[in-house]
Amino acid sequence: MTDYKDTILTPEGVAKLEEELEYLKTVKRKQIAERIKQSIAFGDLSENSEYDEAKNEQAFVEGRIVTLENLLRNARIIDEEDITTDVVSVGSKVKLQDVETNDIMEYTIVGSTEADPAKNKISNKSPVGMALLGKSVGTVVDVYVPDGVIKFKILDISK
């Protein structure tokens, strides 16, 4: 069972989840109901794969709706004022330099629900996220990865 109280969301994350919830409730439910109605018209439900698939999709969507509603009702939402630039916290944008390669990268630290590495949004529970939390500009952190240790220097913290 998921403990939604441990879920941390940014305002952007809340908006994204609300948008998904609205889509599922208004569009997806109607599409599935229509598929069920059409598949019933095919007759014998005992051997009706379209009906079974539609009912399975309906169960999945209803489950996702309940999950999203619980997330939104119980999550802790990070407000812009909660984000400090003194130390890395959830909601911070952090500019890092790989000490070995001198590569520079920028990440936003988010709760695990919002993590999207392709968009440089990393979870506060990821190895990099955990290593950065609570640290200040100029600090070198060790991030333990399967290949060993990566050292990052924190160059900047912003909102």
pLDDT of 8 reads 87
CA dist 70 and 156 (Å) reads: 35
pLDDT of 1 reads 45
Domain spans, the chain: 4-77, 80-158
C-beta separation of 92 from 107 below 8 A: no
Q: What is the mean pLDDT of the chain?
A: 90
CA dist 159 and 88 (Å) reads: 10
pLDDT of 48 reads 76
CA dist 62 and 21 (Å) reads: 10
40-49: average pLDDT:
76
Asked whether residue 68 carries a pLDDT value surpassing 70, the answer given is: yes
C-beta separation of 105 from 98 below 8 A: yes
CA angle 70, 76, 81 (to 5 degrees): 150
Q: Give the pLDDT band of residue 115 (cuts 50, 70, 90).
A: very high
The string of pLDDT tens digits covering residues 88-102 is 998 899 999 999 999
Q: 121 or 44: whose pLDDT is higher?
A: 121
Residue of 137, 141, 151, 138 whose CA lies nearest to 84 = 137
3-state secondary structure 140-159: EEEEEECCEEEEEEEEEEEC
Is 80-158 a domain of CATH 3.10.50.30? yes
Its CATH class, for the domain covering 4-77, is mainly alpha
The pTM of the full predicted model, rounded to 2 decimals, is 0.73
Q: 85 or 80: whose pLDDT is higher?
A: 85
